[in-house]
């Protein structure tokens, strides 16, 4: 009982996402998220700079060169500290990802400064508190991290979700906008399990964040195109997948 009360007590600070349990998804603005995880502008700028060092995704079955990324995984059970797991290939079932699933994909690992960054630590711990409160107990979470940069190239749109409307085969899926540069498009859509639309919005402000119950919802993002040609155009996001171990 005391463990559950501790979880509930921590959840009182989680008001930006109070609708998650009832609606199976919730959104909060970047301003609300910054206050929620208690980070400064300087800390955020330092964290977001890591997106400049992402590397080409060489496993795109559509042949696209529009996606840069890295990958890493953690284990976390509150109140313990999160722990970075040994780097390993990323594998999804083909029925979950009909484009790139069914193969072992090796991506460059997260940079050490990224995996140890205060912004990341506070974000993952806050989310763990949130989903623990919904579940009523402190779970042991496997957390997969996917920092992406989607390039919008002249004459070729960038595809944030090339597999289309989908779920990720986990328990909770988080999308946080890091930065948009010279792009149009990129509207996020959340549907129910029957693909009926529940919510749509263009994440436009750094730290805008949507979290969804991956069992009960599906999601997709529309293509992005350059606003001004011959100027770098991109959409930086952090995707975080929470799965009970």
* Domain CATH for 221: 2.60.120.620
pLDDT at 11: 41
Q: In which domain, by residue range, is 194 found? A: 2-244
Q: What separation, in Å, do the N-terminal and C-terminal C-alpha atoms of the chain show?
A: 22
Average pLDDT over residues 173-182: 98
pLDDT at 92: 85
Q: What angle do CA 241, 169, 101 make, to 5 degrees?
A: 100
Exposure b/e, 125-155, CB count within 10 A at least 16 = b: bbbbbbbbbbeeebbebbbbbbbbbbbbbee
pLDDT at 13: 47
pLDDT at 4: 33
**Distances, alpha carbon 128 to alpha carbons 40, 95, 110, 206, in Å:** 21, 27, 20, 21
Q: How many domains does the chain have?
A: 1
Inform me whether the pLDDT recorded for 177 exceeds 80. Answer: yes
Place of tokens 């919904």: 134
**Residue pLDDT, tens place only, 48-90:** 999 999 999 999 999 899 999 999 999 999 999 999 999 999 9
């Amino acid at each position: 009982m005391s463990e559950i009360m501790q979880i509930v007590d921590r959840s009182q600070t989680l008001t930006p996402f109070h609708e998650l349990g009832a609606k199976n998804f919730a959104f909060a603005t970047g301003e609300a998220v910054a206050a929620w995880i208690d980070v400064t502008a300087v800390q955020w700028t330092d964290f977001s700079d890591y997106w400049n060092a992402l590397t080409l995704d060489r496993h795109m079955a559509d042949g696209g060169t529009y996606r840069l990324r890295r990958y890493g995984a953690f284990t976390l059970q509150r109140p313990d500290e999160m722990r970075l797991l040994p780097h390993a290939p990323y594998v999804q079932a083909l029925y979950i990802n009909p484009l790139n699933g069914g193969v072992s994909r090796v991506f460059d690992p997260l940079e050490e400064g990224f995996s140890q960054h205060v912004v990341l630590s506070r974000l993952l711990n806050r989310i763990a508190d949130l989903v623990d409160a919904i579940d009523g107990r402190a779970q042991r979470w496997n957390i997969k991290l996917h920092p992406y940069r989607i390039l919008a190239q002249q004459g070729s749109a960038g595809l944030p979700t090339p597999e289309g409307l989908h779920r990720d085969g986990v328990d909770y899926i988080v999308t946080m906008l890091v930065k948009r540069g010279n792009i149009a498009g990129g509207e996020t859509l959340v549907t129910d399990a029957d693909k009926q639309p529940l919510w749509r919005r263009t994440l436009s402000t750094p730290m805008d964040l949507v979290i969804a119950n991956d069992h009960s919802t599906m999601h997709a993002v529309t293509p992005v195109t350059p606003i001004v040609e011959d100027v770098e155009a991109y959409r930086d996001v952090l995707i975080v997948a929470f799965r009970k171990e």
